[in-house]
Amino acid sequence: MSVKYKTKYACHPEDFRTYDTEKLRSDFLLDSLFSDNTVNLYYTHYDRFIVGGAKPSSSPLKLETIDPLKANYFLERREIGIINVGGTGIVKVGETEYTLEHKEALYIGRGAEGVYFLKSGNEQPLFYLNSAPAHKSFPTKKISQSDAEVVELGSLETANHRVIRKLIVNSIVETCQVQMGMTQLKTGSVWNTMPAHVHDRRMEAYFYFEVPEDQIVCHFLGEPQHTRHIWLKNNQAVLSPPWSIHCGSGTSNYTFIWGMAGENLDYGDMDTFDVTEMR
């Protein structure tokens, strides 16, 4: 079987305050997303969100169902968002092939069968995956960089000058829950999602990439007055419960993908905290 998965369970915020480094990393860090000829998945108990990665090397990879879904096929009751963070690759949905260039996205709705990941020529694609339960079927849609809704925020003076590209959001593609986008830090800026915020009606996962091999990112999570941190390297992801902040700072600039699921699709629905309130 070319699909492997691990389960990540939810926790109470008061319990979270007692976690040491190893417990934090065990419960929230997703550090093994890409391996040759494998689909690696993390099934979480935060909105039943799945985070994963697919790396087709020598042969096509099928997105097979896993036991926790109790489904005949992966998308029987789910939807999925895919962003290619590697070289040009192909996602086949039924009989239709979608070519994804670097940083292009694909949304696949509930009920789609026969999803495969393939190489295109000699390039090595890396497909980053976010999936959530779906109550309705929406059409499959490819989203290129030119289709994205672009927002520029922050400044070099506060070390958080960044460009946000909303790829899989309800202003671009209809979804039940999944929302995904990409934030790129400008040279000289290192802070993401600052000032920090929480959105209690949806969870979030961050996937960090384009982190130089000799650099690292410190990701912050927890209640605003009870924060903790996890150090991440390139191509690693981290979970954020609905009650938790999610922000980070790197030793260089980098890019990250944010993915969300929950009971609302309003991107601006959040509670923001001033930097001086953090503890």
Sequence ranges of the domains in the chain: 3-277
3-state DSSP: the chain helix, strand, coil percent, rounded to 5? 10, 45, 50
> Residues 2, 62: contact at Cβ < 8 Å?
yes
Structural contact between residues 172 and 148, judged by C-beta atoms closer than 8 angstroms = yes
Report residue 260 as tokens.
């969300």
Collapsing DSSP to helix, strand or coil, 269 comes out as coil
Sheet with strand 105-108: strands edge to edge:
3-8, 38-44, 50-55, 127-133, 78-84, 105-108, 141-143
Closest CA to 31 of 18, 40, 43, 23: 40
* Lowest mean per-residue pLDDT among 106-120, 203-217, 265-279: 265-279
Q: How much is the mean pLDDT over the chain?
A: 94
> Which CATH superfamily hosts domain 3-277?
Jelly Rolls (2.60.120.10)
- Does residue 213 carry a pLDDT above 80? yes
pLDDT digits (tens, 9 = 90+) for 252-263: 999 999 999 988
SS3 assignment, position 32:
coil
List, in sequence order, every residue forming a beta bridge with 44; answer none if it has no partner.
8
Nearest to 246, CA basis, from 266, 217, 276: 217
Tell whether the model's pLDDT for residue 194 goes beyond 70. Answer: yes
Closest residue by Cα to residue 240 from 16, 7, 14: 16
pLDDT at 257: 98
Q: How far is CA 68 from the centre of its chain?
A: 20
Query: CA-CA distances (angstroms) from residue 278 to 143, 248, 271?
Result: 36, 13, 13
Cα distance between residue 142 and residue 9, in whole Å: 32
pLDDT tens-digit readout, 71-129: 999 999 999 999 999 999 999 999 999 999 999 999 999 999 999 999 998 999 999 99
